[in-house]
Amino acid sequence: MPKTISEQNLLRLIDTLVNEGKRVIGPKAAGTMTLYEPLATGEELNLGELPRRSAKETFFPLCETILTYERDREGVRVTDVDPGAIPETVLVAARPCDVAAAPVLDSVFSWDYQDEFYLSRRGKTTIIGLACARADDACFCTAVGLSTNDTKGSDLFLTTLTGGGYRCDVITDKGMALLAAHGGLFAEGDGTPAPLAEPALGKLDLEKIKQWLDNHFEDPLWEEIAERCAGCGACAFLCPACHCFDINDEGGEKKGARRKSWDACGFGKFTNHASGHNPRDVQPQRYRNRIMHKFKYYVDKFDQRLCTGCGRCIRACPVGIDIAEILSAIGTRDQGPGTGKD
């Protein structure tokens, strides 16, 4: 049986979680933008627009220290950062395109290597998703197989009601535990859902796109797109599903830290080898990798796509490269012979 929660009680829930010592992250006004940020009170929740950056930072921060070192007369002391020290977290009012990226990221962070930092944050986070009531020209979640009320990745899921407040669906045991612990803030019933957003781009033929990519590792399309690409990496940094990172030692002879920081396959030095050789030394090869990784390699490996159609890369690209347009164009291309090696 679904429950409902009033707007006021949602803010109270946030206050209560903060008072319990939990890290609560949700959309918050930050200057002229909205960002997913830690909330100090429910009043800070700002549901006006899709946050500029994705929610992936909840599990995979832009930069984090994984160990520190110090050297003195007695030798070198290395101190590991304890991934278990990460606080219990509740991600509130996250959009379906952000939340759906979490199970996609889980696949790679628990594949050949168990990334304890990512997995500890994921394990300690309860996600309360929120259905989208508004879409802009860049949104295309429905074209990549999701929906504006997709519950994938959520533990609890809120849908705005016409009469105010939200319907709250329990999706997982974790969600049930959070609801049960704060049951007094919820009421029985389901209410009438307000109309959902309808992104303009219909369905993409994802099978056909995959087939074309399988056979067109070499194609003039890559030069056409990458002629414009500035290699700024904004698309990857804002994307909920991009997850490349680099590990660097920073500091000096006496002390320093090993840090894990975001990287992007659009950067010129991303694949630069210590020898100086760079297997992707021109931008078309790098942009091709971006599309291939999202719609071919990850599908081959995990049967998932690295794109939830959030549209952030489209909004942010300084030269107007539009991934939805590229995918639509690929979907209409002749499947005929190409060079499929990778």
Is residue 201 part of the contact set for ligand SF4 (CB under 6 A)?
Answer: no
Give the span between the Cα atoms of 11 and 28, in whole angstroms. Answer: 13
Q: What number of chain residues touch ligand SF4 (CB under 6 A)? A: 26
Residue 66 or 232 having the CB closest to ligand SF4: 232
Binding of ligand SF4 by 108 (CB under 6 A): no
d(CA 53, CA 36): 7
Instruction: Please pick, from the candidates 179, 317, 326, 327, the single residue that binds ligand SF4 as defined by CB under 6 A.
Output: 317
Structure tokens at 47: 């549901």
Residues 263-302 that bind ligand SF4 (CB under 6 A): 266, 294
| Angle between helix 206-215 and 323-331 (nearest 10) | 80
Q: How far is the CB of 112 from ligand SF4 (least distance, A)?
A: 23
Q: Which of residues 216-235 bind ligand SF4 (CB under 6 A)?
A: 229-235
Check binding of 311 to ligand SF4 (CB under 6 A): yes
Residue 327 structure tokens: 């995918």
d(CA 53, CA 313): 10
Q: Does residue 213 interact with ligand SF4 by CB under 6 A? A: no
Interface residue with ligand SF4 among 241, 265, 291, 326 (CB under 6 A) is 241
Taking the least distance from each CB to ligand SF4, the nearer of 17 and 201 is: 201
Residue written as token pair 């903060």: 18
* Contact set for ligand SF4, span 54-73 (CB under 6 A): none
**Residue 327 interacts with ligand SF4 (CB under 6 A)?**
no
Q: Are 69 and 259 in contact (CB under 8 A)?
A: no
- Collapsed DSSP state (helix, strand, coil) of residue 321: coil
Task: Tally DSSP H helices, then E strands, for the chain.
Answer: 12, 12
Q: Cβ of residue 57: shortest distance to ligand SF4, in angstroms?
A: 14
How many angstroms separate the CA atoms of 292 and 32, rounded? 34
For ligand SF4, the closer CB: 42 or 311? 311
Name the token pair of 40. Answer: 């100090």
Q: Does 104 bind ligand SF4 (CB under 6 A)?
A: no
Distance CA 248, CA 250 (A): 6
Residue ranges in 114-173 that form contacts with ligand SF4 under rule CB under 6 A: none
Counting contacts by CB under 6 A, is residue 308 touching ligand SF4?
yes
* Pairing label, strands 166-170, 156-160: antiparallel
Element (H, E) at 177: helix 173-181
57: left (phi over 0), alpha (psi -120 to 50) or beta: alpha
Is 307 near ligand SF4 (CB under 6 A)? yes
Binding flag, residue 321, ligand SF4 (CB under 6 A): yes
- Using CB under 6 A, which of 42, 153, 284, 309 touches ligand SF4? 309
Give the residue with the Cβ less far from ligand SF4, 165 or 266: 266
Instruction: Indicate the residue type of 127.
Output: I
* CB-nearer residue toward ligand SF4: 101 or 170: 101
In the bound state with ligand SF4, the residue whose beta carbon lies nearer, of 216 and 294, is 294
Strands 89-94, 23-30: pairing is parallel
Q: Candidates 60-68, 128-136, 206-214, 237-245: pick the segment binding ligand SF4 (CB under 6 A).
A: 237-245
The DSSP call for residue 184 is G
Among the listed ranges 78-86, 196-204, 245-253, 314-322, the one in contact with ligand SF4 (CB under 6 A) is 314-322
**Cα→Cα distances 37→20, 28, 157, Å:** 18, 6, 19
Determine if 239 is a binding residue for ligand SF4 (CB under 6 A): yes
- Closest by Cα among 272, 284, 280 to 218: 284
83 near ligand SF4, judged by CB under 6 A = no
What is the contact surface with ligand SF4 in residues (CB under 6 A)? 229-235, 238-241, 266, 294, 307-313, 316-319, 321, 323
